[in-house]
């Protein structure tokens, strides 16, 4: 028998993607999925893709006893996870949270962008879940879990994941001007906005349309700044594209004084940086990532080039539900439970 796993908020897009991944995972046994709105409904009735795959039905959050579970994934709205995580951890359950509730280390910053935080004691101990960039935090969480402690993992958001994977190698190598702004323009598929349709995401408004939103005010800004050490220097603009899945972030980074790498040198630097990261591929010089090449997977593609205006242009493509949410949650859980980080995540995208 493997580790007993549950998903809270399993009826949403990220939640049902977790169900898809965990249903086939060789080490995590999916034993319960919750949705107050669909309680009592078989998963296969709500999502016919699961016909013949699972007989599980949704239960309510309140009526599901997770105390004997090894891990619970929280795919709930922001501000909900902070109310659920403390009780789960007190019961000895490891929590993998896909919301933003434990990503920001400073409660004052969380309050500025979201709401007052009600579980500030967990902020410091939450391991930030972006394995390629915060592997030390996850390794420490794995050690604590092996010692019998319930741990909390706060997975990075989709925009921060693609943006940070694209930018981090250049920044950490000291190639980026430490005083200049960094510009990130990112485009996401509609599933990134969640299951409930709005005037922006309803088919008739999203189809045949491309628009920026949250300009200068998007709440992923402080998360990206925290990951990359760019406090007060990030100009982040998200865009909505008429596709179901996929996210592409283009980051423009001013070169530090005296830095003059070639594109080929940057590609080699990036490949060295991600040499131990099996789910990240660095493209050849002159080749750019494509969202279609990672859709349905937990993989990321990164491209990098030198611009003659003294800039580095770095691009990152992920599936916003895969590497940007559910897949990353499973990848983090794999690490915390001492499994290969690609366990259950070996999928490749459809080639056409």
Query: Does residue 36 sit in helix, strand or coil?
Result: coil
CB 246 within 8 A of CB 158: no
Query: Does residue 243 sit in helix, strand or coil?
Result: coil
Cα angle vertex 237, ends 233, 242, to 5°? Answer: 160
Length of the chain: 352
List the beta bridge partners of residue 58: 33
Instruction: Write the CB contacts of 299 (distance below 8 Å, at least 6 apart in sequence).
Output: 279, 280, 281, 318, 319, 322, 323, 348, 349
- Cα dihedral across residues 331, 159, 170, 109: positive or negative: negative
Could you tell me the maximum CA-CA distance found in the chain, to the nearest angstrom? 63
The alpha carbon of residue 117 and the mean position of all alpha carbons in its chain are separated, in whole angstroms, by 21
Neighbours of 308 (CB within 10 A): 5
Among 312, 348, 340, 352, smallest CA distance to 166 is for 312
158 is catalytic: yes
- Please identify which of the residues 158, 204, 298, 343 carries the catalytic annotation: 158
Neighbours of 350 (CB within 10 A): 10
Look at the block and give the residue holding tokens 């086939």: 24
Active site (catalytic) residues: 158
């Amino acid at each position: 028998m493997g580790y007993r796993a549950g998903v809270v908020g399993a009826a949403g897009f990220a939640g049902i993607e977790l169900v898809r991944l965990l249903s086939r995972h060789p080490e995590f046994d999916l034993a319960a999925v919750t949705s107050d709105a669909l309680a009592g409904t078989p998963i296969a009735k709500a999502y016919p893709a699961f016909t013949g795959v699972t007989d599980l039905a949704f239960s309510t959050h309140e009526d599901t006893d997770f105390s004997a579970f090894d891990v619970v994934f929280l795919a709930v709205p922001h501000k909900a996870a902070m109310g659920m995580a403390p009780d789960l951890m007190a019961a000895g359950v490891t929590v993998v949270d896909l919301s933003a509730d434990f990503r920001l280390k400073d409660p004052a910053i969380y309050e500025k962008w979201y709401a007052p935080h009600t579980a500030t004691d967990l902020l410091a101990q939450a391991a930030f879940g972006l394995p390629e960039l915060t592997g030390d935090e996850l390794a420490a969480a794995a050690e604590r879990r092996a010692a019998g402690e319930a741990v909390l993992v706060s997975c990075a958001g989709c925009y921060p994941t693609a943006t940070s994977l694209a930018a981090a190698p250049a920044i950490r190598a000291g190639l980026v001007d430490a005083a200049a702004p960094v510009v990130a323009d990112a485009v996401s598929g509609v599933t990134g906005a969640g299951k409930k349709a709005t005037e922006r995401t309803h088919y008739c408004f999203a189809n045949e349309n491309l628009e920026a939103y949250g300009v200068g005010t998007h709440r992923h800004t402080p998360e990206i700044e925290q990951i990359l050490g760019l406090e007060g220097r990030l100009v982040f603009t998200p865009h909505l594209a008429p596709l179901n899945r996929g996210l592409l972030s283009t980051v423009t980074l001013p070169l530090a004084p005296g830095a003059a790498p070639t594109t080929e040198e940057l590609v080699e630097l990036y490949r060295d940086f991600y040499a131990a990261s099996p789910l990240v591929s660095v493209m050849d010089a002159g080749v750019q990532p494509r969202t279609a090449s990672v859709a349905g997977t937990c993989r990321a593609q990164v491209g990098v080039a030198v611009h003659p205006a003294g800039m580095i242009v770095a691009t990152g493509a992920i599936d916003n539900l895969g590497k940007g949410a559910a897949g990353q949650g499973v990848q983090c859980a794999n690490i915390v439970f001492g499994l290969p980080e690609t366990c259950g995540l070996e999928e490749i995208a459809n080639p056409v």
